Chains A and B, each alone.
Chain A
C-alpha cells in the first residue's frame, strides 16, 4: 500500500518538476526489486519478452499472407487479374494458359519462401529455447531464453552468446571487466573490453548479486550499435548513488563472452527490442537502371496491349454493325448472350482481347530475369581471380539484383584507408622536437631512405631533450586503447611481441595504435598490460613503470584526437593527447611547433599518416575540476555526447607539443592500375577520406588518380579563408568551363587522356559550406566543376558527408550511376547511399561488407568486377530484356493481325498448348543460357582495354532507339510470318492430294516459323558458342518438333477438343509448307543480319572493332604497359620535386 502511495507521489512530483522526459527512457529494476520507498517510483513498465521472431509467417497465416505478399507485386497482380478475367468471361484462350505459369511461379516462390521461413522458425526456436542461467532469490535457475524478462539478472559463462542486451554488473575478473567478441555482429574478431560500474563490481556471486538494489534508467532502444546512454542508481545505504552507463557497459545480443570465466549482468532490452534486432529490420532495396528501363518498356507494352485491345474492340463493333455479320445464319449466339447488355458485351470483348494479347507481357520474363540474376551472380563468387589467398576470402554477393548495374557505373567513390591502401600500418618514424627517430635504423642498423633528408638523425640530444624524448615515448605507450592478448588463438591482427615466456599480441580497433605501440617497443618502451587500472610499461632499463589510468577521453572522428589522464608512481598527473595535426596544433601553447610542423608536412607529402603528441601537466586541483566536469557530462541522460564534447574541449587545451609520429599505410597491390583502368573506362573516381589533405593527395598521386599533367583545383578552407567561397567557386568554374569546349571535342574521339584534365580537392568544412541548404546555386556550380574534373579528392570527410556527396551526385541532373567502395564502418552510409555499394574485406571489421551489395577481398578486384563481370552482366541482361520483348511481339502481333481476318472474334491463332509453352519451354532456355554465359568479347580483352566499358555507358543498349528497333524488328517478323502464311493459304491448296488445311494448320505454320525465327535470331546474336549453347539452342528446336509431333500424334483423352490432331504431321507432309517455312525464316532474319553487317562495316563501335580484330587473331593493346609505368614514376617525381 505504501508503495502505491509513494508511487503516486513520485509520479506527481515528477510531472510537476518535469524532471525527465521519461517517455523516451525506461526504468529497469534489477532483479525486479522495488526501490526503497520514497526514492523512486516503482512503475512496472511493460516490456516484450525475449522471444526473437524473425519468421514472417505462422502455420496458419502462411497461405493468405504469402499470397497477399506475392500478389502485391504489380507483375503478379497483373497476371492474376488476367487469370481471373479468363475464369469469369468467355475468353478465347483457356484459363490454363495463363493460370498454369502463374500457378507455377507462385507455388515455387511460396515453397521457397515457406522453406526459408521454416528455417527461420527453426533458428528462432533454437535461439528462443536455449537455456539461460538466471539469478532468482540468490539461486541460479535455468530458464528458456524466450522467458527472459527485462530486469532479470543473468549469469553468463565463457563462450556463451548473450541472449539479449545486458548491462554488465560484475565479472569474475577483479577489475570488473570482461572481454567480448562481436564477430557475429560486425565481424570484428578482436576482443573488446566492457566494464562494470565500480559500485557493483564487488558483487560477483549469485548471493551477492541478489543483494544489489538498484535501478537503471536508460533510453528506449535505439538501433545504433555503438551508442547507449543510461544511468544506474544504486541504493546502498539508502543513499542512492548514480553512475553513468555508456556503450562500454552494454553487452549486445549476439556478442560472445571471451576470456572471462563468468559475468553477472542485467537484461535491459529484450526480444525484438534488442539493438541487433532493430538493426536488421530495414535495408532499402536498390533497383538497377536496367530494371527501370525494363519497367518503362513494360509500360509501353502495356499501352500497346491496351491500344490493341481497344482498336480491335472498336473495329469489331464497326464491323459488326450489319446484323448479318454480327450474327449470320450459320453462327448464332445463344439466348443468354443475346440478352446481355451492349455495354457488358463491349466490356467483355475488350477484356477478351486483353486476354488474347496478354502474352505480350509474359510471366516468364520475370522468372527468367530473376533466374538470370540469381544464377549469374554465382560467377562472381566462383571467380578464381577475385579470390584472395592472403585473406582466404572470395567475392561475396549480397544482392544479385544489381549485377548489371556493375556495368553502368559512372562515378566511383572510394575510401582511402583500407580500400586504396592496405590498412596495414607500419611505424616509420617519430620526430621529437625535430629529432627524427627511425626504429628500423636502430633495430636493424639500416638507414631508411626516407629519413636521409633530415640532418639530425639519431643525434644524441641534450639532457632536457632526452627527458622530452622519454616523455614522448611514454606518452605513446600510455595514450591508446590497445589491449594485450596473451594467447595465440586470436584471429585478426596477429603481431607477436616476444616478451619472456609468453607470446602476446596487441589488439585494437585502430591499426594505427597497434603500429605506434609496436613502434615504441622497437624504440625501447614496451607496453605490458593494463592491470587494476594501472598501465605497466617496460622502459629501456628493463624496469617496470606503473601509471594509474584515471580517465580516457576516447577518440572520435569529429575531435580527431584522444587523451588519457594518468598518475605516475610519484603522484604527478599528466594528460597525454594524441591526434591529427590540425586538431593538436591550435591547442598547443609551447614546444617546437615549427620543426614538428615541417616534419609533419614533409611526411604527409610522402603519403604517411601523421599524428601529433602533446601533453599537459595537471595539478590535483585541475584534476578535480576535470573529474567533476567529466562526471557531470557522463551522467547526463540527454545530450550526453554534446556535453562530453564540450568537456573534452575544455580539458584538452594548453598542451605542450612533444612530437609527431609517421605511420605508413602502403597502397594496395595494383591499386594504381585499377584506378587507371577505371579512368580509362570513363568512370570518374572520387576519393573520399577522413585523412588530411596532404596525405590523401599523396596517395592520390601514387594511385594515379592525379597525373603529372592534372591541374589541381583546390577548394579548401585555406583558400576560402583568403577569398570568399563565392569567389572561389566562380573562379574555379570559370577555369574549368574555359576548357570545357575543348574537353567535349576530345571526349568524343574517346581519348581524353591527353588533354589537360582537372583534379579537384575539397575538404569537409568547405563542402559543408557548399552544401548549406540556403545556397542552391553553389551546389550547382560545385557540381559543374566536379563534372569537368576527372578526379576529385574529398578529404577530412565525416562519414555522413561521404553519403551526402554520393547523394549530391546521384541527384544531379544526369542521374549518374554511382558506386561506393569502402571497408570500414565509416563507409557504410556511403555504401548504402550509392547505387552499388561494395565492401572491401579489410581490417576494420565487417560492417562495410555486411551492408554492401557486393564484397571483394581487395580493391584491385574492382577492376574485374566492373570491367568484366559488370560488362558481361549488362550485355547479357539487356539482350535478355530486348529479346524477350521482341519475341513476344513476334508471337502476339500475328494474332493481332489475324483478328482482321476472323471478324474480330478473338479467335486465337495458335493452339492452347503453343500459347502456354511458347514462353515456358520452346524459347525460354536459349535466352536464359545466353544471358548466363554470353561473352561478346574475350574476358582478357575486356580487362586489357577498359575503354570498351564506355560502349555500354549510360544504359546504351536499352535506350529507346534500340528498343524501338527491336520492336519494329518484331513487328516486321510478325508481318512476314503472317502474310507469308496468308498468301500461301489464300484460296488454294498446297498438298499434293488436293486436300485442304484448316485454321489450325495456318496457326501451326506461323508458329513453326516463329519458333525457328526467334531461336535463330538469338543464335545470330550469340558470340560465344560453347557446347551448352549448341545443346540448348538446337535442343529446344528439336524439343519443339518432338512436342508438336507428340501433341498432334495422339487423341488426348483428357482434352475436350482434338483440333491439333495430325495437324503438324500433315503440314510437314506438304512440300510447299517446308519451302515456305524456309523462305519465311530467311526473310524474317534478313533485315537484322543486314543491319548488323552494315553497322559493323560502316559505323563500327569500339566493341565491334575489337571483336573483328580478335577474330583475325590480333589483340590490340591501346597503351603499352611499360610505357605507362614509366610515365607514372615521372608523375610522382615531378610532384615531389
Chain B
C-alpha cells in the first residue's frame, strides 16, 4: 500500500473522446525502429564466471600482499613513544595536580614526568597530546561553534549563533570564541627537556606552526577586523579602541551590520574556562586570536572518543643528528586540563612520520589479509572451476 504510486491516471475520471483512427494516424502508430526503442543497443555482456574472476583474484592477491608487506614494514619502522600523564595513580607525578584541580586556582599546578627514549628519533618528530574518553564527537559538542564568528565576521562576534548555547554569552557579553568546543580547549602546556648524560637538561625547541591545516589557518579561520588590526581592541571593545576598530572593520565589511548595533555592544568576553582571552593566546600576531594554530587544531573535532591532536613539531636540528637522541627526557606539564571527572586520560605522544603517516599496522595487516584471502579463494575457485565447470559443459546442456 505504501508503494501505491505517484500517478493520478487511475483516478482520472476524464473521458477522452477519440474518433476512429484514420489512415494517417494508423501509419504513425508504427513504432520507430531504433536500437534504443527496440532494446537492441549494442552492448558488452560480461558474466562473472569462475574463469573470468580467477585472474582478477590472483591479480588482487598478488598486488595486495606486497603492498601490505610494504605498509607493514613502513609502519613498523616508525618510532612512537607514548606516555600517560593523567595522574590517576598515586604513584604518578601528576597525581596531586589531578586531585587538586580547581578552575579557580590562580597558580598553575606543574608536574614533571621523566621518561626514557630507547631509540633515537630521526627527522621531524611530532608531539601529540592524546585524550581518551573525551567525546569530541558528541552531537551537542560538535555543533556548538560558530564558523562565521571564527571566520572573523563582526556581526557573529557580537551575536554568536544560538548553536553556541550555553556558551554564547557570559554576563550579557558575547563569548569569543563561543561554543563548547572553544570553551573546552586543551590548555595543558607541555615542555620537553633532554637530560644530557652530562647532567644538564636542554629544553627542546617545539615548533608551534604547521600543526593546523593550511586552509583552516588561512581561509576558514580569520580574526575580526582583518590581519593588521589590534586584536585586543577588537575583542575587548574598550572605549574608543572598540569603536575605532569597529569603524575600521566596517569600512572593509560595510555590508554586514547596521549602525544601531554598534551602540549596544561593549566588547566580548573570554570563554569561561580559559585563563587568557583569545587575543593573548600567542605573542606572535600571525598566530594569535582565532588563527592560533593550537586553537584551530582543537576546533577540528575528532572522530572518536580516543583521539590525539598534533601539539608541536620538533624540527630537525643541525646540532644533534638525531632529532631526539636516545636517553632520558623530562616532560614538564602545566596541568590545567581536568579529565578525572569523566575518567579521561591524557597522553603525550612522540612520533616520527613516514609517507603513510603515523604508526598504524592496521592498513598493512588488512592488505595482507585481503590479499591472501583473494589468493586463497583464487586457488579454491580454480579447483572448483576445474572439477565442476567441465561437468557443466559436458552433460547438462543436453536437456
The smallest C-beta distance from A618 to any residue of chain B, in angstroms, reads: 41
**Quick one: given A902-B305, A992-B353, A1086-B370, are A56 and B11 in contact (CB under 8 Å)?**
yes
Given the complex, which residues of B lie within 8 Å of A751, measured CB to CB? 399
B397: interface (CB < 8 Å): yes
The answer on a CB contact under 8 Å between A905 and B353 is no
The answer on a CB contact under 8 Å between B4 and A986 is no
A991: interface (CB < 8 Å): yes
User: Looking across the interface, which residue of chain B has its beta carbon closest to that of A91?
Assistant: B139
The answer on a CB contact under 8 Å between B38 and A382 is yes
Given the complex, which residues of B lie within 8 Å of A92, measured CB to CB? 139
Residue-wise interface mask of B (166-189) relative to A, using a CB-CB cutoff of 8 A (1 in contact, 0 not) = 110000000000001001100000
A1026 to B381, CA, bound (A): 29
The answer on a CB contact under 8 Å between A998 and B381 is no
B264: interface (CB < 8 Å): no
Residue-wise interface mask of A (172-208) relative to B, using a CB-CB cutoff of 8 A (1 in contact, 0 not) = 0000000001011001010000000000000000000
The smallest C-beta distance from B38 to any residue of chain A, in angstroms, reads: 6
Residue-wise interface mask of B (135-149) relative to A, using a CB-CB cutoff of 8 A (1 in contact, 0 not) = 111111111111110
The answer on a CB contact under 8 Å between A75 and B39 is no
Residue-wise interface mask of B (340-375) relative to A, using a CB-CB cutoff of 8 A (1 in contact, 0 not) = 011100000001011111111011001100100110
The smallest C-beta distance from B84 to any residue of chain A, in angstroms, reads: 13
The answer on a CB contact under 8 Å between B362 and A994 is no
Given the complex, which residues of A lie within 8 Å of B126, measured CB to CB? 989, 994
**Quick one: given A183-B19, A399-B10, A990-B360, are A329 and B338 in contact (CB under 8 Å)?**
yes
Given the complex, which residues of A lie within 8 Å of B356, measured CB to CB? 990, 992, 1071-1072, 1075
A334 contacts which of B29, B32, B48, B166 (Cβ < 8 Å)? Answer: B166
A1092 to B356, CA, bound (A): 35
**Quick one: given A1057-B147, A1079-B370, A1093-B48, are A283 and B10 in contact (CB under 8 Å)?**
yes
B198: interface (CB < 8 Å): no
B231: interface (CB < 8 Å): no
The smallest C-beta distance from A371 to any residue of chain B, in angstroms, reads: 9
Complex interface residues of chain A between 948 and 983 (CB less than 8 A to chain B): 980, 982-983
State how many residues of chain A have any CB contact under 8 Å with chain B. 145
The answer on a CB contact under 8 Å between B353 and A902 is no
Complex interface residues of chain B between 187 and 216 (CB less than 8 A to chain A): 210-213, 215-216
Given the complex, which residues of B lie within 8 Å of A872, measured CB to CB? 39
A976 to B13, CA, bound (A): 52
A181 to B180, CA, bound (A): 81
The answer on a CB contact under 8 Å between B309 and A1023 is no
The smallest C-beta distance from B103 to any residue of chain A, in angstroms, reads: 9
Our count of residue pairs bridging A and B at CB distance below 8 angstroms stands at 375
**Quick one: given A990-B360, A1025-B46, are A1061 and B306 in contact (CB under 8 Å)?**
no
B138 contacts which of A109, A335, A907 (Cβ < 8 Å)? Answer: A907
A917: interface (CB < 8 Å): no
B8: interface (CB < 8 Å): yes
Residue-wise interface mask of B (286-302) relative to A, using a CB-CB cutoff of 8 A (1 in contact, 0 not) = 00000000000100111
A491: interface (CB < 8 Å): yes
Given the complex, which residues of A lie within 8 Å of B137, measured CB to CB? 901-903, 905, 907, 999
User: Looking across the interface, which residue of chain B has its beta carbon closest to that of A1107?
Assistant: B47
The answer on a CB contact under 8 Å between A113 and B8 is yes
User: Looking across the interface, which residue of chain A has its beta carbon closest to that of B365?
Assistant: A983
A939 to B44, CA, bound (A): 14
Of B20-28, B109-117, B324-332, which binds chain A? B20-28
The answer on a CB contact under 8 Å between A983 and B362 is yes
B18: interface (CB < 8 Å): yes
A998 contacts which of B130, B143, B302, B305 (Cβ < 8 Å)? Answer: B302
A719: interface (CB < 8 Å): no
B304: interface (CB < 8 Å): yes
A324 contacts which of B139, B342, B366 (Cβ < 8 Å)? Answer: B342
Given the complex, which residues of A lie within 8 Å of B6, measured CB to CB? 73, 105, 109, 366-367, 370
**Quick one: given A903-B135, A903-B138, A939-B39, are A994 and B302 in contact (CB under 8 Å)?**
no
Complex interface residues of chain B between 250 and 268 (CB less than 8 A to chain A): none
B33 contacts which of A369, A384, A1025 (Cβ < 8 Å)? Answer: A384
A1090: interface (CB < 8 Å): yes
The answer on a CB contact under 8 Å between B43 and A1026 is yes
Complex interface residues of chain A between 1047 and 1062 (CB less than 8 A to chain B): 1051, 1056-1059, 1061-1062
**Quick one: given A54-B13, A983-B362, are A1082 and B50 in contact (CB under 8 Å)?**
no
A784 to B260, CA, bound (A): 89
**Quick one: given A903-B305, A1058-B147, A1111-B49, are A374 and B135 in contact (CB under 8 Å)?**
no
The answer on a CB contact under 8 Å between B353 and A980 is no
The answer on a CB contact under 8 Å between B377 and A994 is no
**Quick one: given A999-B142, A1062-B216, A1072-B363, are A1023 and B45 in contact (CB under 8 Å)?**
yes
The smallest C-beta distance from B304 to any residue of chain A, in angstroms, reads: 5
A1071 to B342, CA, bound (A): 35
The answer on a CB contact under 8 Å between A1072 and B360 is yes
A1057 to B233, CA, bound (A): 26
| Residue in A105, A295, A996 whose Cβ sees the most chain B Cβ within 10 Å | A996
Of B234-242, B275-283, B382-390, which binds chain A? B382-390
Residue-wise interface mask of B (95-139) relative to A, using a CB-CB cutoff of 8 A (1 in contact, 0 not) = 000000000000000000000000000001010101000111111
Given the complex, which residues of A lie within 8 Å of B14, measured CB to CB? 54-55, 119-120, 123-124, 280
The answer on a CB contact under 8 Å between A1093 and B50 is yes
The answer on a CB contact under 8 Å between A1025 and B308 is no
The answer on a CB contact under 8 Å between A998 and B300 is yes
A139 to B48, CA, bound (A): 83
Complex interface residues of chain A between 509 and 533 (CB less than 8 A to chain B): none
Complex interface residues of chain A between 79 and 105 (CB less than 8 A to chain B): 92, 105
User: Looking across the interface, which residue of chain B has its beta carbon closest to that of A490?
Assistant: B20
B320: interface (CB < 8 Å): no
Given the complex, which residues of B lie within 8 Å of A287, measured CB to CB? 4
The answer on a CB contact under 8 Å between A1075 and B67 is yes
Complex interface residues of chain A between 315 and 354 (CB less than 8 A to chain B): 324-325, 328-335
| Residue in A92, A750, A985, A1118 whose Cβ sees the most chain B Cβ within 10 Å | A985
Given the complex, which residues of B lie within 8 Å of A1024, measured CB to CB? 43, 45
Given the complex, which residues of B lie within 8 Å of A908, measured CB to CB? 139
Residue-wise interface mask of A (1085-1129) relative to B, using a CB-CB cutoff of 8 A (1 in contact, 0 not) = 010011011101110100001011111000010100000000000
The answer on a CB contact under 8 Å between B31 and A370 is no
The smallest C-beta distance from B9 to any residue of chain A, in angstroms, reads: 8
A446 to B367, CA, bound (A): 87
**Quick one: given A280-B15, A1100-B392, are A379 and B7 in contact (CB under 8 Å)?**
no
A381: interface (CB < 8 Å): yes
B65: interface (CB < 8 Å): no
Residue-wise interface mask of A (1008-1036) relative to B, using a CB-CB cutoff of 8 A (1 in contact, 0 not) = 00000000000010011111110000000
The smallest C-beta distance from B271 to any residue of chain A, in angstroms, reads: 11
Given the complex, which residues of B lie within 8 Å of A1023, measured CB to CB? 45-47
User: Looking across the interface, which residue of chain A has its beta carbon closest to that of B10?
Assistant: A285
A310: interface (CB < 8 Å): no
A1093 to B374, CA, bound (A): 13
A74 to B26, CA, bound (A): 42
Given the complex, which residues of B lie within 8 Å of A1082, measured CB to CB? 60, 64, 370, 374
B157: interface (CB < 8 Å): no
| Residue in B16, B219, B302, B304 whose Cβ sees the most chain A Cβ within 10 Å | B304
B140 contacts which of A905, A993, A1093 (Cβ < 8 Å)? Answer: A905
Given the complex, which residues of B lie within 8 Å of A1108, measured CB to CB? 47, 49, 392
A451: interface (CB < 8 Å): no
**Quick one: given A329-B338, A935-B43, are A989 and B357 in contact (CB under 8 Å)?**
yes
Given the complex, which residues of A lie within 8 Å of B148, measured CB to CB? 1056
The 9 closest A-B pairs by CB, nearest first: A330-B184, A392-B26, A990-B357, A1002-B303, A382-B37, A54-B14, A994-B126, A905-B139, A998-B300
Extra inter-chain contacts (4) besides given A123-B16, A280-B15, A329-B342, CB under 8 Å: A939-B40, A992-B356, A999-B301, A1097-B389
Please name 11 pairs of A and B residues whose Cβ atoms are closer than 8 Å in the assembled complex, sorted by A: A116-B8, A330-B180, A331-B135, A387-B29, A392-B27, A933-B41, A982-B304, A996-B128, A1056-B163, A1058-B220, A1083-B370
